[in-house]
Structure 1
């Protein structure tokens, strides 16, 4: 099947009418939901309870531990059909099933290995989003798995417990592969994340939520036509692979591991009754302490863990319209979908309820990186599907970083539409947003951050353990259309005194990589 979006796509890049920064919500706590131009507000609120279906819980991926102590998993990407909407069979892609994939679970310190086979009709990859991993096993666009091919990455898990995920990353086709269903959770455990004071019984009080949007044709097929400026936007919310879901909560609280798995849509999560919930973790793991919120905005690729209290009546998790403290006009709100509203999941109290201990007041100790110690400063301007006025080139290294060196990255959105920013291999800390300290729920480790139009965000980060003079990592906007169109760069992490290697890798197969120009590029 031909790729729809590539870095050589001949179609002109379309910007919407120029909007001032005040037309969008500012700050990371207010992320706009974007809809195709001309669409009226959408809502799925008030769906009849008897039309809801039980929330599917992705099974834990089976594994074996070999003689070397390596925990081994097997994944197969293949096509199938799924009843995403009642009464319709939709052609989909999945890992070890017709849609999504099993939840991979490993403990910090374990060595993991994978045998991944591609049974799809086109090449794909498997990227470990948020994982600290050697570059050659990162699963980015350089680790392509051909149809019928197999890839066998392995590494030692060495990072705090966190909710991560895996998804395809073939350059130019990422959005379509994820839209068709290729995604899954990767949970890293440690002593803090599995403490008895936190809900941690998978599928009982510790629930993965992969939230995505889809649009369907009359026959029930996925509608991949007419992408907007931020990608394929749907009018139906899919949670763990199906629309319209509920979950029976056995105790007074439930831990929801929320992933925004959409290609371009933003979500403003909250509870329908307006009650507060506790956020306990962000992309890279636990926060220093629980943060009480009534709204939580997540852009594509971001994750958050929240704990919700459930009383005697059902509670609905919803995606709300985005509040506008600066007075967005009705026309702009409709144009950009800011008044869209979707039900995500109904939480139903069980007849028999087990007690639970109180949430701890302290969750994790996070050592703050000091910007004054940054040896390298870089700037990344996001504009027109480019970063620093360059589109992604598989044959160009945009910068090199030295291992165990602190860097300060300034990321600026120069467009009048949303972007976010994701860095492979590492977790970063947010120094400031437009010169202001980030709010408490953004005080932990992150690998993806929303960058509002006109805003500037400073990130501090380090690359540790792994060096590779040949295989690069990526940084990019995680609105998948944008990265497919070229809003992405690549960098090498080198040891002191190490230089980029000449091209010696094979030109086909899982380790294939084209020849590279090791120029200074856009990252410096």
Structure 2
């Protein structure tokens, strides 16, 4: 085991050596082979400004060499895309992989034709150029492949990156990327004795592969040099199945300021945040000069809440400088809104989750499961009848109304797009749909435990002009794709 870990660290030390792959002016240089070293900060993707002020981002999906990894603009993971509300963006996505894939903008509100789901396949050698106007609150979104029946393998190999949305009218928060605004992409992986990424169990078992090595930004147990009194960490669970409960070994409390879809109404102090695959949480942590703190993940005290195998992992070592730059005080009020009860008469849709089906149906790319009027507010009731799942809805922001009849903890009261659903649990969501009407282009809803998604635990919905729902065809032609 130790030999395998040393070999895996040697592999990981090479991530980021490709130009533009995983370094930035604010990030330490990659560690030498065999050492986890400093936390690597994914570089910011630098857009070209085209006619009309459109920001064009170039993203190339490519193999990572002999280690078996894939990356975006590099050997593993990808750059961070950062845009401002109101920007017009054009994503220039080129596929240099040996097989077709997609790139889905998880957490972005955009037309279904631009969503990057299984209908927007990118063949080897092809380029896909979705374009839209960023029109949503400040948030931490991300991007990853979303092809039918192969998502787990493509994400596991390393195709993922963050998409940050800024709002110039939002609250004053730590925002200097790589200094006091730090992305943390958390993943579990397994390496074989030759140091190569092990993929043998990705498509097997109840949940797929649960790795024995947890990486943060592509490295195991890296260290970060803290230079400011407050640091904002953007947590992303980019694992295929593993659930994390993130906190600190000294039990310190910190503030949650945002969830998947944006900010909370006010900071919420906690000592742990639980995030399942696809979920994000923004936290702000206070540091004192000269201290060292260890960020870790702890398994549940009881498996009654979660039957996914859980373990304790060290994630990140935080080393505060002897003198810290003073940070502005964290605002007492943020720009998020409190969850409001849906009005009487709100439409309710019900979904039953089994081992790999939703409402007794496996995914069918030609079937439209739900038709929703643009701008609708609905209640979605999710009844999980088996082992642990989670549930992600494309395009929308929702609020958790209750889990087994109990309101969620205060830190989960913000806008979300993914929710963990324990075994045998029922969840009710207040779902706010967007206004991009297109009866021929579906969005997805699915379990974001990627083994379950690939086995068929996914459905499709279209958003249409209000009043036209009854006339919308419920089938799509075979081979239906928009690229």
CA-atom RMSD, angstroms? 2.1
Q: CA deviation at 1:246?
A: 0.7
Tell me the equivalent position of 1:448.
418
Tell me the equivalent position of 1:252.
229
Map Cα deviations across residues 43-74 of structure 1 (whole Å, 9 max, x no partner): xxxxxxx9541111000001022221211111
Q: Is structure 2 residue 395 aligned with structure 1 residue 425?
A: yes
Q: Is structure 2 residue 131 aligned with structure 1 residue 154?
A: yes
Q: Are the aligned partners of 2:373 and 2:467 in contact in 1 as well (CA < 8 Å)?
A: no
Q: CA deviation at 1:502?
A: 9.1
Matches within 5 A, 1:392-403: 392-403=363-374
Map Cα deviations across residues 416-470 of structure 1 (whole Å, 9 max, x no partner): x210000000110111111122210111100000011111111111222201011
Q: Are the aligned partners of 2:181 and 2:233 in contact in 1 as well (CA < 8 Å)?
A: yes
Q: Is structure 2 residue 453 aligned with structure 1 residue 483?
A: yes
- Count residues in correspondence: 445
Partner-residue secondary structure (3-state), 1:350: strand
Tell me the equivalent position of 1:118.
95
Q: Are the aligned partners of 2:435 and 2:463 in contact in 1 as well (CA < 8 Å)?
A: no
Q: Are the aligned partners of 2:254 and 2:269 in contact in 1 as well (CA < 8 Å)?
A: yes
- Return the match for 1:314 from 264, 272, 292: 292
Tell me the equivalent position of 1:94.
71
Q: CA deviation at 1:111?
A: 1.0
Matches within 5 A, 1:156-235: 156-191=133-168, 193=170, 195-196=171-172, 198-226=173-201, 227-235=204-212
Map Cα deviations across residues 26-59 of structure 1 (whole Å, 9 max, x no partner): xxxxxxxxxxxxxxxxxxxxxxxx9541111000
Q: Are the aligned partners of 1:108 and 1:159 in contact in 2 as well (CA < 8 Å)?
A: yes
Q: CA deviation at 1:369?
A: 4.5
Map Cα deviations across residues 64-108 of structure 1 (whole Å, 9 max, x no partner): 222212111111100014xxxxxxx72211111111111000111
Q: Are the aligned partners of 1:476 and 1:487 in contact in 2 as well (CA < 8 Å)?
A: yes
- For the structure 1 residues 298 and 51, does the alpha-carbon distance in structure 2 shift closer, same or farther, using more than 3 Å as the test? same
Q: Distance in 1 between matches of 2:46 and 2:55?
A: 10
Q: Are the aligned partners of 1:135 and 1:472 in contact in 2 as well (CA < 8 Å)?
A: yes
Q: CA deviation at 1:357?
A: 1.8
Tell me the equivalent position of 1:518.
none
Q: Are the aligned partners of 1:114 and 1:153 in contact in 2 as well (CA < 8 Å)?
A: yes
Q: Distance in 2 between matches of 1:420 and 1:251?
A: 35
Q: Distance in 1 between matches of 2:50 and 2:366?
A: 38
Tell me the equivalent position of 1:380.
351
Greater relative contact order: 1 or 2 (C-alpha under 8 angstroms, separation 6 or more)? 1
Q: Are the aligned partners of 1:77 and 1:96 in contact in 2 as well (CA < 8 Å)?
A: yes
Q: Distance in 2 between matches of 1:257 and 1:379?
A: 32
Q: Is structure 2 residue 321 aligned with structure 1 residue 371?
A: no
Tell me the equivalent position of 1:68.
52
Q: Which TM-score applies when normalising by structure 1?
A: 0.81
Q: Distance in 2 between matches of 1:232 and 1:270?
A: 24
Tell me the equivalent position of 1:138.
115
Q: Are the aligned partners of 1:467 and 1:495 in contact in 2 as well (CA < 8 Å)?
A: yes
Q: Distance in 2 between matches of 1:337 and 1:443?
A: 26
Q: Distance in 1 between matches of 2:476 and 2:374?
A: 22
- For the structure 1 residues 336 and 422, does the alpha-carbon distance in structure 2 shift closer, same or farther, using more than 3 Å as the test? closer
Map Cα deviations across residues 223-266 of structure 1 (whole Å, 9 max, x no partner): 11133311111000111112220110111221100000000000
Partner-residue secondary structure (3-state), 1:449: strand
Tell me the equivalent position of 2:28.
none
- Larger mean Cα displacement after TM superposition, 115-124 or 353-362: 353-362
Map Cα deviations across residues 306-340 of structure 1 (whole Å, 9 max, x no partner): 1112222211110112123xx86xxx99x9534x1
Q: CA deviation at 1:496?
A: 2.4
Moved over 4 A (4+): 501-508
Q: CA deviation at 1:279?
A: 0.7
Tell me the equivalent position of 1:242.
219
Q: CA deviation at 1:221?
A: 1.1
Q: Distance in 2 between matches of 1:475 and 1:504?
A: 17
Q: Are the aligned partners of 1:256 and 1:305 in contact in 2 as well (CA < 8 Å)?
A: yes
Map Cα deviations across residues 259-293 of structure 1 (whole Å, 9 max, x no partner): 00000000011101111111111001111111111
Tell me the equivalent position of 2:463.
493
Q: CA deviation at 1:500?
A: 2.7
- For the structure 1 residues 213 and 502, does the alpha-carbon distance in structure 2 shift closer, same or farther, using more than 3 Å as the test? closer
Tell me the equivalent position of 1:16.
none
Q: Distance in 2 between matches of 1:307 and 1:502?
A: 45
Unpaired runs of 5+ residues, structure 1, are 1-49, 82-88, 513-524
